[in-house]
A = this chain, B = another copy of it.
Amino acid sequence: MIAESHSRAVVLRAFNVPLAIESAPVPEPGPGAVVAQVGLAGVCGTDVHLHHGQLPIPLPIILGHEGVGRVQRLGDGVATDFTGHSLREGDAIAWSSNIPCGHCHWCVVAGERTLCETRKVYGVNQRFDELPRLSGSWADAIYLQPGSAIFRLPDDVTPEQAIALGCAGPTAVHGVIDVTGITAGDTVVVQGSGPVGIASAMYAHLAGAARVILVGGPASRLDLAREIGVGDAHIDIFAFPDPAERVRLVLDATPGRRGADVVLECAGAPEAVAEGWEMARRGGSFLALGQYTDRGPTPLNPHLITRKQLRILGSWGFAEKHYLGHIQALPRLAARFDLSRLITRYPLEDANRALADMAAGRVMKPVLDVSRES
């Protein structure tokens, strides 16, 4: 239970110093809005970058762009969730972290709401010192503004399962399913074994890949992946530090040594791209899903694009429809993989420790268990 009228909140006021818990009043939801009680809030690699000041954001903000919880109060006019299901107080819900403007070139003409330049993002660009203040999930309550895509959790999905992939879930739906389009029978390489890599590999499995080769590390992450059935083959980049050797291993594992039909880059390191291009077969596809931060140029051989007739794709974040896709896929994912094994719980007060563990890669997916300690 949260306090009747106040919510704790983990606030980022200055970069690179410990976060502190503050308090703010929980407002009544206006028309079209919803106030939710947060149950579990995810900690994401992006939160580490935000904390380090590596992205251009306003301060102060409440962190947290991933969350599941329960409806505490519905604003006027809110009777259903984003899919049309009825929505009532107490319902278990998740919500998309971002609200595109709906009016710009990208929203209306291009139909690429992920490219909207003025979209609101909870836990990233909504100021704590402006109403409604409670705009991040690292808090007892969050104020979901009108236009938020809210989803009642499917009956057979637990909050743990819903938070386990965090924003990596809808990000993978966008990149792996919508942009790249795995075809049943494909041989797929996934570069990277963090949350985005794991989510992408799961979606490759879900989409019927004949073989998923997971290239990542450290061993503990690959072991966890193996244990929950993610990946048919696993290549540890610490055991095989030579990229050429890894390319050779991948080719050995593909039909006719032709290379993979699809390579999903979820590593983030720029040098993974050159390696991935080598792993793809002629006519194959490569998705740059992990190059979120700008680390500058890396040597790449464009002759390969022409000679191999590569199809190289990029995908940035996600929009409502990708979150919807993830919600729709969750029952299948949950039935197939023990999603809850991915998460490690922390009380809200230990947000700094959760962030440090994420930064160090000590855990796969830290989750703030907001409801537990209150």
Contacts and interface: CB of A to CB of B under 8 A. Distances in A.
Given A102-B103, A329-B185, A332-B208, A301 B294 contact: yes
Contacts of A301: 270, 294, 296-298
B207 A207 contact: yes
Interface of A: 83-84, 102-103, 105-115, 147, 149, 173, 177-179, 181-185, 203, 206-208, 210, 255-256, 258, 265, 270, 273-274, 282-283, 288-316, 319-321, 324-325, 328-329, 331-332
Nearest to A206: B208
Given A296-B301, A315-B306, A147 B256 contact: no
A173 B185 CA distance: 9
Contacts of A325: 184-185
A135 B320 CA distance: 32
Copies in the complex: 4
Contacts of A108: 102, 113, 149, 319-321
Contacts of A331: 210
B306 A302 contact: no
A173 B206 CA distance: 16
Contacts of A102: 102-103, 107-108
A314 B320 contact: no
Given A115-B282, A329-B184, A312 B309 contact: no
